[in-house]
A and B are shown apart, each in its own frame.
Chain A
Amino acid sequence: MPVSNSEIIKNRAVVADDWTVLRLSEGDTADSVTIPAGKVILPLAVWQARRTELQGRTPLGVWLNSDAQADAIKDDLEQFEVIGINFPIFTDGRGYSIAFNLRTRYGYAGELRAIGDVLRDQLFYMQRVGFNAFAVRADKNIHDALKGLTDFSEKYQASWDEKTPLFRRVQRQPVTQD
């Protein structure tokens, strides 16, 4: 299981992270798990099971696993300062669509953090669909991973970061043939 760094990338810089991501261990249930004090990012199941108890607690974060849908929290967005999306393995691409829908369909404007198996070579795409924070896998160099955000300077298609596709954004002309 990937463990967390004490630092994350946020808004294109490496910063200290004082949030705790709560993950249920074996034997824990959403109903009974002890929720630590302070800034905690809760599993969706815990939020859903203990909504009444947690109502009004600030600051609070929640994280969705890759098999969740953005609409699971669409009515609660104002409750959260951070929404995490978990990548159980970096090849699981569902989190990209969850992020995109949270941003575009439900208008979530707060911190959207990629957690789990988060690696340098996926960061460019992740920021494009709406992530602005990355809890890079702890065994990787987070300063090296930062470079992954700038792999490309142009993109063809629209997404969260770039609202208009290239064909609407610029005047494209053929280059002179050599």
Chain B
Amino acid sequence: MYRYDQYDHQIVKERVAQYRDQVRRRLSNELAEDEFRILRLQNGLYMQRHAYMLRIAVPYGLLSAPQVRKFAHIARKYDRGYGHFTTRQNIQFNWIKLEESPDILAELATVEMHAIQTSGNCIRNITSDELAGVAADEVIDPRPYAEILREWSTFHPEFAYLPRKFKIAINGSEEDRAATAVHDIGLAMARNPAGDIGFRVMVGGGMGRTPIIGSVIREFLPWQHALTYLEAILRVYNQHGRRDNIYKARIKILVKAIGAEEFARQVEAEWIDIKDGPGTLTVEELQRVAQYFTAPAYETLPATDTGFETRKAEDKAFANWIKRNVKAHKVAGYAAVILSLKKTGVPPGDLTADQLDFVADLSERYSFGEVRVTHEQNLVLADVKQSELFALWQEAKAQGLATPNIGLLTDIICCPGGDFCSLANAKSIPIAQAIAEKFDNIDFQHDIGDIELNISGCINACGHHHIGNIGILGVDKDGAEWYQVSIGGAQGNNTSIGKIIGPSFSAHQMPAVIERLLDVYVKQRTEDERFIDTVQRIGVAPFKEFVYATPILLDQPHGEDACV
């Protein structure tokens, strides 16, 4: 993975010093809170419901074992013993003291980490495919390009005060695992007919209040032009994006208002001046960065390990885990393992300090000391020998990290919601937990098969509810928490936005609502048809009809909320 050189170290060191002085000036009232707020946000420090929250950047989701251990240390020393992995592949800590935040950043700098631009109206952490470099379906490894974009966007002087936050995702495989279509800029790596490497550039996707699938504004952008072309996009947005209304300030609104063609025309006009200028990437720079992402010292192994095959045949629990949590690898004899952070009873994406230490150890023993974060809020050990999967599984299971539910009903994407977030209209973690408890039976989950359930506690859509096959959105009605349900959303190559099925439900009704949706699916599905395929084939109506046909009686009545 990427290692800092003297320049990266210098820049991050100077950032810590700058931020430490900003905190000092805030505490002495030289800086007013509204002046400081913007500065701390660009350092990932939010004021939340109970305390400050610090969001630490995990560039394109890649971590080393010492970095993960540093998280464990931060969790113990500065927080309440756990951290939360987010849909932007970052980690956040929920109980931070302002006075201690500069020290945390100084500690992070010792392991080549920072919290730069994890919030604020600037270019946010670049996200990518968690299987980059190892995926069997990879076309081009996106990691060097992601790192080049990280450096370019770090402290970009012109784009630190954009109309709104700005998110870029890059994907290099046949399957889109980075949700590129719902980003401000989505880059899909490709080769043109001549074999040159470049990007298909999508702009103006996003979720939140106005979910929109991004528009392709350039079918093929040669990689050398990545930075200048993105600069042109950002400059058009910076000058013309709306600033009068925070809800209409994202680039998607601008692209929608003037049309993708006109937007593309303006970008091209802006680009003329800088195309082929000094910002044009060089082969030398690409090679410098790419050298950090070379393959680890793989052994030459048979494509299948007999011991592994035997174990799989004999042990159903192990086979279930392999089926769901282990992904194909491009090197023979290796596999990528997803550690599930979705054990029933635990908030999705949370990990304790002890588990963080454990994951660091595990990665060193089984996967070249590297860990990846997924936007579904799980962790990946990307380079595990087939022959060691069984041992790894047993260890992970003992730590509660081997729930065989990746891509299944209880692999819920969920924002922190009203328990932590000051923006939330409703809680989301208890909803996720209630659903997980109701459908805890793993055989049932395996029968249901691939399904994505996403929960957001507010319209900002941190839980990506719009692209969940089932999406749940917390809404506030007269001071009470209610939940709106959508179905038919999807991420990946056929990204779609879910459709709302009707009036919202109380928290207590949610598990029963999910049950009814699944009932319709089970009755209607054809063989091997996934939930999303059934929804697309028969439409929303049959689901809607059944969910609202009769009052939802609860297993355990909860007073006045007991039924509709």
**B-binding residues in A (CB < 8 A):** 69, 90-94, 96-98, 100, 104-105, 119, 121-122, 124-126, 128-129, 141, 144, 151-159, 163-168, 170, 172-175, 177
Taking a contact as CB atoms under 8 Å apart, the answer to whether A163 and B278 are in contact is yes
Which residues of A are found within 8 Å of B227, using beta-carbon distances? 157, 165
- Answer yes or no: B282 CB below 8 A from chain A CBs: yes
Contact with A along B103-121 (1 / 0, CB 8 A): 0000000000000000001
Taking a contact as CB atoms under 8 Å apart, the answer to whether B161 and A96 are in contact is yes
Taking a contact as CB atoms under 8 Å apart, the answer to whether B30 and A152 are in contact is no
Q: A92-B161, A96-B238 are in contact. Are A154 and B121 (CB under 8 A)?
A: no
Taking a contact as CB atoms under 8 Å apart, the answer to whether B39 and A172 are in contact is no
Taking a contact as CB atoms under 8 Å apart, the answer to whether B9 and A152 are in contact is no
Q: A92-B243, A97-B235, A105-B273 are in contact. Are A156 and B157 (CB under 8 A)?
A: no
Pick the contact of B154: A156, A173, A177 (CB < 8 A).
A156
Distance between B276 CB and nearest chain A CB, rounded to angstroms: 13
**A-binding residues in B (CB < 8 A):** 3-7, 9-11, 14-15, 18, 22, 30, 35, 38-39, 121, 151-152, 154-163, 227, 235, 238-239, 243, 273, 277-279, 281-282, 284-285, 288, 291-292
Which residues of A are found within 8 Å of B15, using beta-carbon distances? 152
Give Cα A173–Cα B4 distance, bound, in whole angstroms.
9
Pick the contact of B158: A100, A105, A174 (CB < 8 A).
A100
Which residues of B are found within 8 Å of A121, using beta-carbon distances? 22, 35, 39
Q: A151-B18, A167-B285 are in contact. Are A93 and B159 (CB under 8 A)?
A: yes
Which residues of B are found within 8 Å of A177, using beta-carbon distances? 3
Taking a contact as CB atoms under 8 Å apart, the answer to whether A91 and B161 are in contact is yes
Q: List 21 A-B contacts (CB under 8 A).
A: A93-B163, A96-B157, A96-B159, A96-B161, A105-B273, A121-B22, A121-B39, A124-B157, A128-B157, A154-B7, A154-B14, A155-B11, A155-B157, A156-B155, A157-B279, A158-B277, A159-B158, A164-B278, A165-B279, A168-B278, A173-B6
Taking a contact as CB atoms under 8 Å apart, the answer to whether A157 and B7 are in contact is no
Taking a contact as CB atoms under 8 Å apart, the answer to whether B7 and A166 are in contact is yes
Pick the contact of A154: B11, B158, B239 (CB < 8 A).
B11
Give Cα A159–Cα B157 distance, bound, in whole angstroms.
8
Q: A154-B7, A172-B288, A174-B3 are in contact. Are A167 and B282 (CB under 8 A)?
A: yes
Taking a contact as CB atoms under 8 Å apart, the answer to whether A125 and B160 are in contact is yes
Q: A156-B155, A175-B4 are in contact. Are A91 and B9 (CB under 8 A)?
A: no
Q: A158-B278, A167-B288, A175-B4 are in contact. Are A97 and B238 (CB under 8 A)?
A: yes
Taking a contact as CB atoms under 8 Å apart, the answer to whether A119 and B157 are in contact is no
Taking a contact as CB atoms under 8 Å apart, the answer to whether B14 and A119 are in contact is no
8 pairs of A and B residues whose beta carbons are closest in the complex: A93-B161, A128-B157, A125-B157, A167-B285, A156-B151, A96-B158, A164-B278, A151-B18
Give Cα A104–Cα B279 distance, bound, in whole angstroms.
14
Which residues of B are found within 8 Å of A157, using beta-carbon distances? 151-152, 156-157, 227, 279
